[in-house]
Structure 1
Amino acid sequence: MGAVDGSDDLAWFSSTGPRMGDGGLKPELTAPGVDVLAARSQYASEGSGYYQTMSGTSMATPHVAGAAALLAGTHPDWTGQQLKDALISTTARTPRYTPYAAGSGRLDIAAAVRNTVFATGSVYGGYRSFSAPAGEKSQKTVTYTNTGSSPVTLHLSVQPSAGTSPDVFSLSAPSVTVPANGTADVTLTTSFDAVQTGTSVSGQILATDDAGTTVAHTIIGAYKDYEHYDLKVTARDRSGRPLAGSEVQVTDGKSWNTMVIGADGTGTLTLTPGNYTV
């Protein structure tokens, strides 16, 4: 979750993606978190009086928690995942930011409660190595839910973020009819041939009704790792014993990396292609 101000501008302190480890989508939505007036604890050392103004994702979090509680009160039979998907897929979109910066948009609890249609909120196409074979693809399911009493036809389109090739993401169908009080699925295909190494790509799937109104949206993303290789060094003294705990400096002439030798006398560094001195 990220934080925005009263103009839906992303706060400087808002945490952005990609997610460490797998390049996943982060955050999934934003909420007001700048100069928020809130009740002040009598034990707080900052400020005075009954209220104080603060900023932070810690101020945005209660907005989301409260919205989830209100939505759960409206739909007490919904699962946690349904509540999450409804909140993410009905936000007020902030298209000037990518999903890796501001998720699907700013929380809009009125839309989440009012809408009879919601979608899977976030779909991650996946992480692939730079050496992924040609033609590598992933397929993920996007589910649309209709809580209304009449079927709804949704027209679907992929809106890639700036810098993302239109060839990365595709859908199995341009439209879908969701039955009353039911669900319908489409498949999102991610083509990793169209993703440059070392980059994250993203976008949104927009679902519009016959009047052209966007009623639900889903953030999508994928990541292809940068080209890298492991350099393994074996370090032993003159007697052949491991030089455990020693440090080895590795440089390409511009930057330096420190490799610590382990108990077995070896160390490993992950490096991009190039010429190095050890």
Structure 2
Amino acid sequence: MTDPQLWLSVLEIGSFFGLIALAYQLTLIGAGFFNFAIGPYAMVAALGASWLAIEMQIPVFISLVLGVLIAVVVSGLTELLVVRQVQKRSGSGELPALVAVTAVLFIVQQGAGTLFGRPALPGQVLFTFGPWQFGDVYVSGTTVVLVASTAIIFIAVSLWMSLSRTGRLLRAVGDNRSAAALLGLPVGRIRLIAFLLSGLIAGLAGLLYAPKTGVAFTSGLAWTLVGFLALVIGGTGRTWAPLIGGLVLGAIQVFAPFYFGSMGPTTMVLLIALLFFAFRPQGLFSTRVRI
């Protein structure tokens, strides 16, 4: 655990996990349930951008922009055509919405495989610079872009949530949707904004991480699971809590194989998830309520 190159890997993986968890957090706050289609949003952005750049010969910058746009549109349609319609007919309970977005997960995954192909594709890189060597540590340009972008996104979302009227309305709607509607707050618009913003963040996360690992149509399910677990570990009490959960999960992914073999990461992640569900379901950072 003293190898700085491994800790750099923790930072890379943890940044990605944290971004996926942040996208989860926004829909959880704004809509009151876990949107399990977050991983496929990230996947369809990265896979779509790579397919457009490689197969259609579209310039990389335009392909990346279109990839993010695909994720945002799919996320918005999830709220407008699936979640909103399901909750209109079944009430505001969480279970129907959870079932609906789980179905969206597999629909987006299979749809991406049909449209963009089944083979994995390399992620697209917009900025090509580096790598640099600092002693025994090699830092690539994609690592710098991933970590720096993660920091910027978390800072921007934190400021937006605390300083903007829309960010404060998002928390109000999430705390009590019925009361917010009675007060005349634009519940539908705020919930749609939460979905669109989560799709944007998930899409950016997929584009930033795909150059490190590549992307396939099956990547969405795995990314959904790790993002959910990062949020469970970090909690929802602070905007940056998902990043802490992502870094913890990243450390497990990197260091567990050295001590527990190839099955170590999976075993440790499931064990820690079980412990958090049993003893601290609110995560490391929970919201403090003053009475």
Normalising to structure 2: TM-score of the pair? Answer: 0.25
Normalized per residue, the structure richer in helix is 2
- Which entry has the higher C-alpha Rg, 1 or 2? 1
- The structure in which a higher percent of residues are strand is 1
Q: Give the TM-score normalised by structure 1.
A: 0.26
